[in-house]
Amino acid sequence: MSRVELESFLKSFLLFFGSLGLLIATLFYINFSKEIQTLDEKLLSQMRVCSFDLKCTNFQIDFVEQKDKELYTLFKDESGLSSYYPIPSSTSYIMSLHLSKENYNKEVSKLKTDGLINFSIVLTVILFLSMLFSLYSLYPLRNALVLTQEFIKDILHDFNTPLSSLRLNSSMLKREVGENDKILRIEQSVENILALQNHLHSYLHNHKLQIETFNLTSIFEEQISSLKRSYPNINFHTADLHVDIKTNKEAFTRIIINLLTNAAKYNKVNGNIDILFNKKTNNLEIIDTGKGIKNPKKIFDRFYKEQERGIGIGLHIVKKLCEELGISIKLNSVINKGTTFTLNLSKLTLK
């Protein structure tokens, strides 16, 4: 189950289970209040019968002065329940029947216990029904996601033929007319499409199941060597990267490629990019001296961009890949001074 499917399942389950659970709890509370009222009426009826035959052991019988006491009515106080009845041939005294608070609470406790048992049974049934309902409602979403992913995969596969033709023809054209700005722009556009294709591949793959151990130094040396050819005026500096991590290499490499490419692309002429790893905090920092980011809170949003170049999906994919791999990513940026991306690798296996 993917993260989107899991989120959809949990939201559907909580909504269905929470709403029905609240409704059932309200109904049981109302029913319990009615049962208390029924219990009181039952006790009052028993007191009336007892006032005639005096054959009752659960009530305390006494005789008190009338003093305007209301007859045939149930009274509740801290001592328990009481009711008063007339005595034939007596106008000064009345009969008092009393049920102690302890005995009354026992009767109420029985009602509570029965109610809680019934409530637990109903709630358990609702729990299973909520799970079944959530799984059932998940199927249309799952089918739509599968169809969308298959469609995107087919398109990405079909990209290969025209891209190969573009690269081949631009190379042949360069040999015929020599290098010029138009050909360079065509080549750069082709590279941008290839980068987008790689981003989408990384976006679609399930990286949690593909785990391997590799060294940070090897990842950065390879990517820095490649970027230096495209950005010869950028100075790369690395420090203390000799550490092994265990995670999905493809996804992690895609994160590093995107962050390094952005750091070089939006850097100043003869700018610097520093890559540092702190073994105490397990923080990997990529520091550039570029333009900076105006709205750091929006930079990971899909299709958000602050420059004309690109389509604004690269850092969104970086954020998604970091979430899949258990990497915490933060940034600190100052306009015209630079940006620092910090990746916390504490959840990865480090050696």
Distance of CA 223 to the CA centre of its chain: 33
**pLDDT value for 149:** 67
Q: State how far the Cα of 195 lies from the Cα of 259, in Å rounded to an integer.
A: 13
Q: How many whole angstroms separate alpha carbon 63 and alpha carbon 96?
A: 6
Per-residue pLDDT of the chain (351 residues; tens, 9 = 90+): 666 677 778 888 888 888 999 999 999 999 999 999 999 999 999 888 888 878 888 889 888 888 778 888 888 888 889 999 888 877 788 888 999 899 988 989 999 999 899 999 999 999 998 888 888 877 777 777 677 767 677 666 667 777 778 778 777 877 777 777 777 777 767 776 776 676 666 666 655 557 888 888 888 888 888 888 778 889 999 887 888 888 888 888 888 888 998 898 888 888 999 999 988 888 999 999 988 888 888 888 877 776 666 566 778 888 888 888 889 999 999 898 999 999 999 887 666
Q: Model pTM greater than 0.95?
A: no
Q: What is the predicted pLDDT for the residue at 65?
A: 86
Distance of CA 124 to the CA centre of its chain: 24
Contact between 86 and 69 under an 8 Å Cβ cutoff? The reply is no
Residue 51, pLDDT score: 85
Q: Which amino acid is at 210?
A: Q
User: What are 193's two structure tokens?
Assistant: 């499409």
Q: Per-domain residue ranges for the chain?
A: 3-136, 210-350
Predicted pLDDT at 199 = 62
Q: Residue 251: its pLDDT value, please?
A: 83
Which CATH fold topology does 210-350 show?
Heat Shock Protein 90 (3.30.565)
Position 2 scores a pLDDT of: 64
